[in-house]
Amino acid sequence: MRVPSIPAADFLPLVPAIILLVGACVLLMTEVFLRSPSRGYQAPLSLFFTGLAGAVSLSSAFEPARPVFQGFAAQDPFSSAVTLVVCVALGLAVLTSSGFLRSRNAERGEFYALMLFAASGMSLLAMSTELITLFINIEVLSVGTYALTSYLRRGTRPAEAGFKYFILGAFSSAILLYGAALLYGATGSTKLSEMAVVLPAALAAQPALVYAGALLVAGGFAFKVAAVPFHMWTPDVYEGAPTPVTALMSAGVKAAAFAAMIRVFLVLGKGMDPSVPLALFSGLAYLTMIVGNLLALPQRNVKRMLAYSSIGHAGYLLVGVAALFVTAEAPAGDGFRFFGATPLLAPGLSEVAARADALKGLLFYLLAYTVTTVGSFGVLAALERSEDEPKGTAWDLDRFAGLAQRRPGWAFAMAVFMLSLGGVPPTVGFMGKLLIFRSAVDTGLVGLAVVGVLTSAAAIYYYLRVVVAMYMRPAPEDERIPVTLSWGTELALALSALAVVVLGILPGTVTDWLQQASTLWLGQ
Amino acid sequence: MNAEVVLFYAFAVLALLSAGMVIASRSPINSALSLVATFFFLAGTYVLLLAHTIAVLQVLVYAGAIMVLFLFVIMLLNLTETEGERAKVTFGRVAGALAAVSLFALLALVVMGVKGAPTAMATAELARFGTLAALGQTLYTEWLLPFEAVSLLLLVAIVGAVVVAKARI
Amino acid sequence: MNTLQEFFQTSPVPPNTLAQGLWWIIGLPLLGAFVCGVFGKKLGRANVSLVASAAVGGSLLISLLAFWAVNDVRTAATSAYAALRTPYTLAVDSGTWFAVGDFRVNFGLQVDHLTAILLLVITGVGFLIHVYSAEYMSHDDGYWRYFAYLNLFVAMMLTLVMADSLVLLFVGWEGVGLCSYLLIGFWYSDAAKAWAGRKAFITNRIGDFAFLIAAFLLVTLVAAFESQATRANFGFPGGSPTTFSRGLDAQGPLHFEALKTFSRALVTNPTPGGAVAAVTPDTPIATGPLKDFTYGGVLTAVLLLFLLGASGKSAQLPLYVWLPDAMAGPTPVSALIHAATMVTAGVYLFCRLNFLLVFSPVAMGTVAVVGALTALIAALIAFAQDDIKKVLAYSTVSQLGLMFMAVGMGVFWAAIFHLVTHAFFKACLFLGAGSVMHGNADETDIKRLGGVGREMKWTAATFGVATLAITGVLPLSGFFSKDAILHGIHQTELFGLPWVGPLVLRLGQLVAVCTAFYMTRLFVLTFWGERSPEARAARAHESGATMVGPLVVLAVLSVVALVYGLNLINGQPVMENFLGPVFEPARRVVSALGTVRVEHGPIGVGGYAQAWALALLGAGAACFLYLRFYPTRAGQQAPAAVAAVRRFTQNKFYVDELYELLFIKPLKALSFVLYKVVDALLIDTVAVRGTAWVTTRVGAALRYVQTGNAQAYAAVMALALVGGVAYVIVRFLTP
């Protein structure tokens, strides 16, 4: 039997994940050995490991793509970029956690450790190129977030949310696994690189098996990214989880799941009739954009509103994913037709360039959404009072009333985040939408772009409602700021607001970088 | 119809039946015991697939260790048959059942549509297939990354379980 | 004269050096806004107003230098799109802002004669209003917020006029809208005022949407042109397709130079015996989403969309409704934003895009007619308003209508001239109104004032001068600017639309009479006559020096600005000569296409006399009615017909109610229906469709969608997969 050898260099791409892992273990150990009642060191410690991991992934961002571990994983600019986004999300979430947990007297090493574990799962997921590895890493990040969801057990809500997330997550994992099994049955391999080789033949022989497998795998991913109709857990779980955890879920989990989905379907799409993934993702995008934004409209509970809005944003990201599958030639035969015509690339645009553009848009949108949403959950975390939680009024719109007078800095930051989520210039949210919709138009997905613009216009309504409450409503009588001021929260809000504005006005450097990374990855 | 096929169908039908019992039974202990039975029948199927090691592990680890733990927990918590009204027929349940059944049926249709003959294995390969040695070699060389990822998963699961089970935070 | 000319034509700072410093014009107020907003509470009142005023003052100084520099003969900007140098323009380009695909936008500023004039107006009037505000807002707790917003507004307005591309202009456009919203709703604890802010914001968003679509169309249009045009299109000095493409790669399609080069290339006629130009306004577009439309046709659509955008910001029909309500904000804000600067953004936009506007007589005619109708309707509504600020607000709408008339008829310089004089006298009027309110316990109802002139001499005098100016009495600037508009319209005929000119002219004259009437009424009722018994304060008190000072300066300016209207240089009015280079591209298009016919002729004495007579007629009628006629009939019941007309006018022609009925109610109903339908539909597709059993339980199913029941969630997911797998089977397994 052939015994493959694994060179030491294969471990290099894992370094960010290993750093996060080591950090998690260190934090667990602190609970054992440092039994001081003050745990103020834990957030900076986690931040240190996060920053280290982020720096490492940034430094390897431009290394050429290469498979490692016999094709079970890959080191490429794409995985580095996603790891970086995850680290940004994790860092901001950790910063908001410290004040949040301290005010509830619940700061423990396990919390940060689980966050770091989940993040290392995300980082590994972004580089997995084999279905079983991918599945295991999805489970790593999921199990971490399941536990974090029910970390604070006050009242029934967190336990219920955690359990619900666990059950439904297990269900979606099963679906993903079933899909992977069907794909294995059709191609005889679980490695994406080998599948790519066998796929054309497998498609010719067993089309139904491949397509059904791909569909189930897509269903599994759709659950993780909260795409309609796999979205229904989102509001309940987001609401029940501790707010910093929600922030990490809505940004980091989404980024990693999107990364894995893109990676898998870029391979699966190669042999397929291109109209199938196109129809799949356009359909999901339409549904997700429309339903997510519509359901957010009547929400007065800001946390639930943000949950629905995160569904809507998944829809915009799916537009970018759909744009990845438009080809230059019309598919032969009865290609899927959406609104009468099969989308084609704009003339003069090469397939690789169009995909690199779409990918750049996706990565930028992920980054944009990460800084914005973690920031807005940060404000929410800072504002909520633990005694309101059983009553369910902790996140009511009224809690924001008159915030501009009481905490002008927070109100301003929240206004910036809301405008960015709504896609109003000059914020980063606008640039993200611009990039995504632009590549949708370039690839002929005009219907998606139009629906995207219309739904974002509708979304401005519910985002502005928060701004209006903060700036134009008087503060309620019994109002007081609940949280003892924490440097972490202030720093997180300042950093993310700054990022939202600066990246909104000067996105050039980052987009150039992402363009380079995308071209490097796809152009191989 | 040779013995292998007969055995396969016997194991498959019994596994499905006992899996059905897991959900249908109203007593937690009956459910757990049905699960043990399911694991056994699955192990039988593994044997038919020449995956001896997996079959043994299935019996040792799942049916043996884990299920015994399950039963301990159930008995310690003194869970008895849940009283009260029988499960109501609600819209959600009907839709769920319908969805589950049709999903199963459709997937079965897909799998049954598979054409092609089984591939034969060389005798030398067959001799090594499914042995502990072969499994170990594959697991620690080629499948190193997923193997390590699984150990990470177990660590996270332990920490997570401890956190969830800990006294109120 | 020559020495004077030479003095103005030699900038003390070398133009290239100054160009690098242009950022400071925007940067100083921005810095001020930052300091006031972040440290305002700690700095204290005096320091905040000092910082804010100093920031705008510094900006004013640099603007003065820039104004001086654009007169310098050495000043010229190089165009990236053609081997040309644009004279009298300062430009600075700071490289890529963002690039999406092949669409690029650079960060860059430019100052030409048009921008220079507006810079002076914005920073000058802005500075005076900051000084005025220091006293006006001295009792308000939110003074630091106020000054932060005001500084931010100035920065945004400066961005708007200094932008060298439509994108940066749009940033300013949105920015001023945001500041206006924040300042209208400044006293947000009052629900009505907060609502006024929202009304302004939403109305403006409608316009902004149109603006964005227009900009996108322009991008597509320029891209199509780039692929279709040939050498013959670039048959002007310095023009070539490669240079144009290189420029597009370097600075993007929405740079004003790009649009200018595009407009010039579109009208370049083939030289006799040379190659025929590939693209003219009548050529159909060959590629892209606009395929088969003609260039001229798309341009008309673009301009009409810009008109909708401009009518949002500049309060024209049908989107003017927000401006009168915007008076809820502090009075200096009304003076700066809703009279002098922001609301003129629409006029500026069309003057900036003059070379595009003149392509389409249809668009021009529409602009002119919209302007004329707005001017008339607003003037009529102003007749019966009793709130001093509302009268001024409607008067602003009406005067903006006049500017739109001028723009629409292609008399761009007169529009800018009126913009400048209007900024002076309307700011003076608003600040005067603020002073009256300040001295009369915040009373705004002119019926409850009266006789204020005796106690507030300075305010009355400056208000009087400004009233005469807006009325158009001869030696004041308002006369010259209004007459320049009417005279210009008289001389102009739009190709294919000969009736627009005379119609607009007559409406304009009618507006002049109305303006004279309601302004005189306002002045008479406020400052003359007896004090009303219902007055809140028994005696008015004159405001302090920091409030009166700006009033005097503005009053003087509204007299002195008449210099711009005198035929001093080359037999042309000073303003027309000064703005000549800016509107040269438009002239080039007009002479090539013949879209506008102009008969040049000096304004005769007859014309002056006519204009003066109209002003006196209106003013005289108002004086008679309110000084002689009504006081003698006090207490008598007015005839029913008069009362009805008055009620109709007072209720602003019920336009708000009409909009409520026509748009807001149906929209609410539609969104309600949509919500229900989509919701129901969702369930319908998700659940088992068509079975009678389900239809009877739709109510239960409605709740079922988001009940918190995990089993139901799983069922929905499974159902979605069932659908997908069924599709796969149908498609791939059926023979």
Is the per-residue pLDDT at C36 higher than 70? Answer: yes
Across chain B, which distance is largest between two alpha carbons, in Å? 61
User: DSSP per residue over B76-131, as a string?
Assistant: HHT-----SSPPP--HHHHHHHHHHHHHHHHHHHHHHT---PPPP--HHHHHHTT-
Neighbours of A32 (CB within 10 A): 8
By residue count, chain A amounts to: 524
Which residue did the predictor score with more confidence, A328 or A468?
A: A468
Give which of C458, C462, C486 is closest to C472, Cα–Cα. C486
Is the per-residue pLDDT at A104 higher than 90? Answer: no
Compute the distance between CA of residue A85 and CA of residue A252 in angstroms, rounded to an integer: 7
Shortest Cα distance, chain A CAs vs residue C41, angstroms: 11
Choose, out of B23, B89, B101, B102, the residue to mutate when testing the contact with C (most C CBs < 10 Å).
Answer: B102
Neighbours of chain B (3+ CB pairs under 8 A): A, C
Residue with tokens 């230098």, as numbered in its chain: C65
Compute the distance between CA of residue A86 and CA of residue C347 in angstroms, rounded to an integer: 48
Residue with tokens 């400044």, as numbered in its chain: C186
Could you state, in order of their start, the residue ranges of all structural domains in chain C? 1-80+111-163, 362-650
Looking at every residue in chain A, the average pLDDT score rounds to 86
Residue with tokens 């929209």, as numbered in its chain: C667
Residue with tokens 């940033």, as numbered in its chain: C171
Is beta strand C567-569 parallel, antiparallel or unpaired with respect to C492-494? Answer: unpaired
Asked, for residue A114, whether it belongs to a domain, the answer is yes
Residue A254 — pLDDT band, cuts 50, 70, 90?
very high
A327: DSSP letter: -
By residue count, chain C amounts to: 735
Q: Are A68 and A56 in contact (CB under 8 A)?
A: no
By residue count, chain B amounts to: 169
**Could C729 and B109 be called an inter-chain contact, meaning their C-beta atoms sit closer than 8 Å?**
yes
Least confident of A172-176, B31-35, B117-121: B117-121
Q: Could you give the C-alpha distances from C19 to A506, C120, C315, C416, in angstroms and in order?
A: 21, 16, 33, 24
Residue C721 sits at the chain B interface (C-beta within 8 Å): yes
Compute the distance between CA of residue C344 and CA of residue C337 in angstroms, rounded to an integer: 9
- Chain C's closest residue to B105, CA to CA, is C722
Helix count and strand count (H, E) for chain C? 32, 8
Is the per-residue pLDDT at C126 higher than 80? Answer: yes
Residue C253 — pLDDT band, cuts 50, 70, 90?
confident
Is the per-residue pLDDT at B14 higher than 90? Answer: yes
The pLDDT assigned to C541 comes to 78
Residue C698 — pLDDT band, cuts 50, 70, 90?
very low
Residue with tokens 């209720």, as numbered in its chain: C651
- Chain C's closest residue to A472, CA to CA, is C188
Helix (H) or strand (E) holding A195: helix A192-205
- C547-575 pLDDT, tens digit per residue, is 888 899 999 998 888 888 887 777 788 88
Neighbours of A482 (CB within 10 A): 15
Cis status, amide bond into A507, omega within 30 of 0 = no
CB contacts under 8 A, A 198-257 vs B, are 205-206, 208-209, 212
Asked, for residue A5, whether it belongs to a domain, the answer is no
Compute the distance between CA of residue A214 and CA of residue A212 in angstroms, rounded to an integer: 5
Residue with tokens 């602190």, as numbered in its chain: A30
User: Mean pLDDT over residues A65-81, rounded?
Assistant: 89
The pLDDT assigned to C735 comes to 56
Continuous H helices in A233-274:
233-240, 243-248, 254-271
Compute the distance between CA of residue B107 and CA of residue B96 in angstroms, rounded to an integer: 16
Is the per-residue pLDDT at C689 higher than 60? Answer: no
Q: What is the distance of C-alpha C573 from the center of its chain?
A: 25
Compute the distance between CA of residue B137 and CA of residue A363 in angstroms, rounded to an integer: 39
- Chain B's closest residue to C700, CA to CA, is B91
Shortest Cα distance, chain B CAs vs residue A104, angstroms: 9
- CA geometry: angle C137, C141, C144, nearest 5 deg: 70
Residue B133 sits at the chain A interface (C-beta within 8 Å): no
- C581-609 pLDDT, tens digit per residue, is 888 888 888 888 888 887 766 666 666 77
User: Mean pLDDT over residues B41-57, rounded?
Assistant: 89
Cis status, amide bond into A229, omega within 30 of 0 = yes
**DSSP 3-state of A63:** coil
Residue C97 sits at the chain A interface (C-beta within 8 Å): yes
Q: What is the distance of C-alpha B137 from the center of its chain?
A: 24
Could you state, in order of their start, the residue ranges of all structural domains in chain B? 3-116, 122-169
C236: DSSP letter: S
Strand partners, A75: A66
**DSSP 3-state of C255:** strand
Looking at every residue in chain C, the average pLDDT score rounds to 80
Compute the distance between CA of residue A148 and CA of residue A145 in angstroms, rounded to an integer: 5
Is the per-residue pLDDT at A250 higher than 80? Answer: yes
Residue C722 sits at the chain B interface (C-beta within 8 Å): yes
Q: Are A470 and A399 in contact (CB under 8 A)?
A: no
Number of A/B CB contacts below 8 angstroms equals 99
- Chain C's closest residue to B92, CA to CA, is C712
Is the per-residue pLDDT at C424 higher than 70? Answer: yes
- Chain A's closest residue to C709, CA to CA, is A164
Is the per-residue pLDDT at B41 higher than 70? Answer: yes
Which residue did the predictor score with more confidence, C486 or B128?
A: C486
Is the per-residue pLDDT at C694 higher than 50? Answer: no
CB contacts under 8 A, A 40-99 vs B, are 69-70, 72-73
Number of B/C CB contacts below 8 angstroms equals 52
- C372-413 pLDDT, tens digit per residue, is 999 988 888 887 778 888 889 889 999 999 999 999 998 899
**Could A72 and B145 be called an inter-chain contact, meaning their C-beta atoms sit closer than 8 Å?**
yes
Domain that residue A167 falls in: 13-33+41-522
Residue C545 sits at the chain B interface (C-beta within 8 Å): no
Residue A151 sits at the chain B interface (C-beta within 8 Å): yes
Residue C701 — pLDDT band, cuts 50, 70, 90?
very low
The pLDDT assigned to A524 comes to 55
Q: Say how many Å lie between the first and final Cα of chain B, rounded.
A: 61
Confirm or reject CATH 3.50.50.60 for domain B3-116, answering yes or no.
no
Neighbours of chain C (3+ CB pairs under 8 A): A, B
Give which of C281, C141, C145 is closest to C221, Cα–Cα. C281
Residue C683 — pLDDT band, cuts 50, 70, 90?
very low
- CA count, 13 A, side-chain hemisphere, A295: 27
**Could C721 and A175 be called an inter-chain contact, meaning their C-beta atoms sit closer than 8 Å?**
yes
* Cβ-based contacts of B162 with chain A (< 8 Å): 110
Q: Are C565 and C477 in contact (CB under 8 A)?
A: yes
DSSP E strand boundaries for C3-89? 76-78, 85-87
Is the per-residue pLDDT at C101 higher than 70? Answer: no
Is beta strand C85-87 parallel, antiparallel or unpaired with respect to C572-573? Answer: unpaired
Q: Could you give the C-alpha distances from C255 to A442, C108, C251, C306, in angstroms and in order?
A: 22, 9, 7, 16
Is the per-residue pLDDT at A480 higher than 80? Answer: no
Is the per-residue pLDDT at C91 higher than 80? Answer: yes
Least confident of A13-17, A255-259, C302-306, C649-653: C649-653
Q: Is the pTM here over 0.80, yes or no?
A: no
Across chain C, which distance is largest between two alpha carbons, in Å? 99
Shortest Cα distance, chain C CAs vs residue B98, angstroms: 8
Render the burial of A347-381: b for 16+ CB within 10 Å, e for the rest.
eebeeebbbbbbbbbbbbbbbbbbbbbbbbbbbbb
- Chain B's closest residue to A134, CA to CA, is B146
Strand partners, A128: A73
Q: Which pair of structure tokens corresponds to residue B79?
A: 């869970």
Helix (H) or strand (E) holding C678: helix C665-686
Render the burial of C362-390: b for 16+ CB within 10 Å, e for the rest.
bbbbbbbbbbbbbbbbbbbbbbbbebbbb
Shortest Cα distance, chain A CAs vs residue B39, angstroms: 17
* Cβ-based contacts of B111 with chain C (< 8 Å): none
Compute the distance between CA of residue A44 and CA of residue A54 in angstroms, rounded to an integer: 15
Is beta strand C567-569 parallel, antiparallel or unpaired with respect to C572-573? Answer: antiparallel
Compute the distance between CA of residue C260 and CA of residue C254 in angstroms, rounded to an integer: 10
CB contacts under 8 A, A 226-245 vs C, are 229-230, 232-233, 235-236
- CA geometry: angle C508, C509, C514, nearest 5 deg: 95
Compute the distance between CA of residue C495 and CA of residue C491 in angstroms, rounded to an integer: 13
The pLDDT assigned to C634 comes to 56
Four-residue CA torsion sign, A18, A23, A26, A28:
negative
User: Mean pLDDT over residues A238-252, rounded?
Assistant: 92
Residue A509 — pLDDT band, cuts 50, 70, 90?
confident
Is the per-residue pLDDT at C214 higher than 80? Answer: yes
Give which of A464, A444, A475 is closest to A346, Cα–Cα. A444
Strand partners, C30: none
The pLDDT assigned to C685 comes to 43
Residue A120 sits at the chain B interface (C-beta within 8 Å): yes
Helix (H) or strand (E) holding C28: helix C23-43
The pLDDT assigned to C679 comes to 45
Is the per-residue pLDDT at A240 higher than 70? Answer: yes
Least confident of A371-375, A452-456, C291-295, C617-621: C617-621
Choose, out of A472, A477, A510, the residue to mutate when testing the contact with C (most C CBs < 10 Å).
Answer: A472
Give which of C481, C509, C488 is closest to C596, Cα–Cα. C488
Q: What are phi and psi of A476, to 5 degrees?
A: -65, 160
Q: Which pair of structure tokens corresponds to residue A12?
A: 């290099």
Work out how many domains chain A is built from and give that number.
1
Q: Could you give the C-alpha distances from A461 to A273, A293, C189, C200, C662, in angstroms and in order?
A: 40, 10, 21, 15, 21
Give which of A310, A178, A165, A230 is closest to C686, Cα–Cα. A230
Residue B95 sits at the chain C interface (C-beta within 8 Å): yes
Out of C289, C710, C725, the one facing A168 most closely (by C-beta) is C710
Q: Are A253 and A127 in contact (CB under 8 A)?
A: no
Strand partners, A396: A301
- B84-109 pLDDT, tens digit per residue, is 556 667 776 777 788 888 888 888 88
- C496-512 pLDDT, tens digit per residue, is 888 888 899 889 888 88
Out of C707, C716, C729, the one facing B110 most closely (by C-beta) is C729
- B72-83 pLDDT, tens digit per residue, is 888 887 766 555
- CA geometry: angle C371, C375, C376, nearest 5 deg: 120
The pLDDT assigned to B118 comes to 66
Written as one letter, the residue type at C151 is N
* Cβ-based contacts of C716 with chain B (< 8 Å): 95
Q: What is the ipTM of this complex?
A: 0.91
- CA count, 13 A, side-chain hemisphere, A493: 25
Choose, out of C705, C711, C713, C730, the residue to mutate when testing the contact with B (most B CBs < 10 Å).
Answer: C711
The pLDDT assigned to A175 comes to 92
Is the per-residue pLDDT at A333 higher than 60? Answer: no
